[in-house]
Amino acid sequence: MKRPLSVYRLALPIALVATAALAAAPALAGPASVNPADLSAVDQAFINAREAVRIGDRERLTQNAARLVRHPLAAYPEYWLLLGRIRSAEPNVTADVTQFMRRHPDTYIADRLRLD
């Protein structure tokens, strides 16, 4: 079956644009992984806190959360600690949850805690 020449005129530029986009994608995405040596001590503490949550090490989470007071993501380790206390039905957790909600109003992490 013969196709009109106009179909090929349209298909070639589309194929070229798609090929160029695929070739540029790795350059736009940046490095595949972050070298831990390039991270600040506070950023490394956040990653350690996240790892502590993943493996269930509450003591390690508490230690790293204390180092994140001024970090932009400091609410996350605080949330992870509160979540563990909520799930274990620890007494007096309600007051701490209320304080968390007051410190982080209208944030995603407060909504997450509200759902949990």
Q: Rounded to 5 degrees, what angle do the CA atoms 34, 40, 41 make?
A: 120
pLDDT at 60 over 90: yes
Range scoring the smallest mean pLDDT among 35-44, 47-56, 70-79: 35-44
pLDDT at 24 over 80: no
pLDDT at 63 over 60: yes
pLDDT score at 62: 92
pTM of the model: 0.64
pLDDT at 37 over 50: yes
Mean pLDDT of 47-72: 92
pLDDT score at 100: 94
Q: How far apart are the first and last CA of the chain?
A: 61
Q: What is the pLDDT of residues 81-91, one digit of tens each?
A: 999 888 888 88
pLDDT at 8 over 50: no
65 contact partners, CB below 8 Å, separation of at least 6? 49, 74, 77, 78, 80, 81
